Structure 1
Amino acid sequence: MTARPTGIDLPKEGGSCSMPTQPSVRFNLERNTVHQYIKTNDADYNQHHVKPVRSICRRSEGRLLLCALFLAFLGPYASLTLMKVTNNPSSIGEMSGFNITTAGSSFGVAPILDNQHIGSNNNNKKLTVLISTYNQTGCLHRLINHLQTCTGVVDNIRINWFQHSPIPQSLLANNTHFNIPVTFDILPNNISHRFLPRDFGTDAVFNMDVDMSYSCDALQLTMDTWRNQTNQTHTAVGFFPRYLPSDKKYYKFDESHYEPYNRNTIFITKGGLVHKDRLNDFFDSSLKPLLNHVDEHTTAEDMLMSHVLASNQVKTITLCVPRSYWCNLICTSQHKSGQYDTLQQRSGGHRSHLMSSFRDYFGNISMEERYNPMMWHGGMKYGDGCNTEFNFCRHYEWMRTT
Structure 2
Amino acid sequence: MSRSQSFMLLFLVVALQSCDAQVSVVVSSFKQKRCLEWQIDIFSSCPIVSHIHVNWFEPNGPAPNNTNKITYDVLPDLISHRFFPRKFRTQALFTTDVDVFTSCSALKIAYETWLRDKRAVVAFHPRNLRTNGTETWDEGYYYPYRHNTAYVTKGAVMHRKLFKIFFSKEYEEARRLVDRHVTGEDMLFSFMMELDHRIRGVKVICLEWKHACHVDCIQNSVLPLGLRTHSFRVPVLRQLFQMFGNPFIEYSGKEQYVWASDRDAEAPDPVCRSINKVYGPNTPPCKEFCSTSPACPHHST
State the TM-score, normalized to the length of structure 1.
0.62
How far 1:123 sits from its partner (Å)?
3.4
Counting only pairs closer than 5 Å after superposition, residues 47-66 of structure 1 correspond to structure 2 as none
2:126 to 217, 237, 241: 241
Q: Flag the structure with higher helix content.
A: 2
SS at match of 1:341: coil
Whole-angstrom distance in 2 between the partners of 1:120 and 1:398: 33
In the alignment, the residues of structure 2 paired with residue 329 and residue 249 of structure 1 have an alpha-carbon distance, to the nearest angstrom, of: 26
Is contact 2:26–2:55 with CA below 8 Å preserved after alignment? yes
Q: Secondary structure at the match of 1:122?
A: helix
Matched, 1:257 2:134: no
- Deviation of 1:333 after TM superposition, in Å, equals 4.3
Match in the other structure for 1:328: 214
Partner Cα distance (1:389, 1:196) in 2: 24
Paired letter, 1:150 = C
In the other structure, the counterpart of 1:21 is none
Give the 3-state SS of the residue equivalent to 2:293 in structure 1: helix
Partner of 1:209: 97
Alignment of 1:158 onto 2:53: yes
Structure 1 ranges of 4+ moved more than 6 A: none
Q: Which runs of 5+ in 2 are unaligned?
A: 1-14, 297-301
Mapping for residues 2-401 of structure 1, pairs under 5 Å:
122-151=18-47, 153-167=48-62, 181-229=69-117, 232-233=118-119, 235-246=120-131, 248-313=132-197, 314-334=200-220, 339-364=221-246, 365-367=248-250, 373-378=256-261, 379-381=263-265, 383-386=269-272, 387-390=274-277, 392=281, 393-395=286-288, 396-401=290-295
Name the SS for the 2:19 alignment partner. coil
How far the C-alpha of 1:400 sits from its partner, in A, is 3.6
- Alignment TM-score, normalising by the size of structure 2: 0.82
Counterpart-to-counterpart distance in 2, 1:398 and 1:134 = 26
CA RMSD of aligned residues (A): 2.3
Separation in 2 of the partners of 1:249 and 1:140?
31
Identity of aligned residues (%): 28
1:120, distance to aligned residue in structure 2 (A):
7.3
SS across alignment from 1:324: helix
User: What secondary structure sits across from 2:292 in the alignment?
Assistant: helix
Instruction: Give the total of aligned pairs.
Output: 267
Distance 1:401 1:281, change over 3 A: closer
Q: Any idea what the Cα deviations from partners look like across 1:19-55, whole Å, max 9, x if unmatched? A: xxxxxxxxxxxxxxxxxxxxxxxxxxxxxxxxxxxxx
Q: How far 1:362 sits from its partner (Å)?
A: 1.6
Alpha carbons 2:151, 2:186 under 8 Å: kept: yes
Change (3 A) 1:139 1:172: farther
Q: Which moved more, 1:266-275 or 1:339-348?
A: 339-348
Q: Is the 8 A contact 1:162 1:189 kept in 2?
A: yes
User: By how many angstroms is 1:163 displaced?
Assistant: 1.4
Contact 1:120 1:202 in 2 (8 A): no
Query: CA shift at 1:196, angstroms?
Result: 0.4
2:77 aligned counterpart, secondary structure: coil
For 2:259, the aligned partner's letter is W
Q: d(CA) in 1 for partners of 2:33 and 2:152? A: 22
Distance in 1, Cα, partners of 2:154 & 2:62: 23
Distance 1:121 1:399, change over 3 A: same
CA distance in 2, matches of 1:333, 1:165: 15
CA deviation after TM superposition for structure 1 residue 214, in Å: 1.2
Which residue is equivalent to 1:67? none
> Does the C-alpha gap of structure 1 residues 120 and 130 become closer, same or farther in structure 2, counting only changes over 3 Å?
farther
Give distance in 2, aligned partners of 1:236 and 1:293: 24
Q: Distance in 1 between matches of 2:152 and 2:123?
A: 6
Alpha-carbon contact 2:210-2:292 (below 8 Å) kept:
no
Instruction: Measure how far apart 1:124 and its partner are.
Output: 2.4
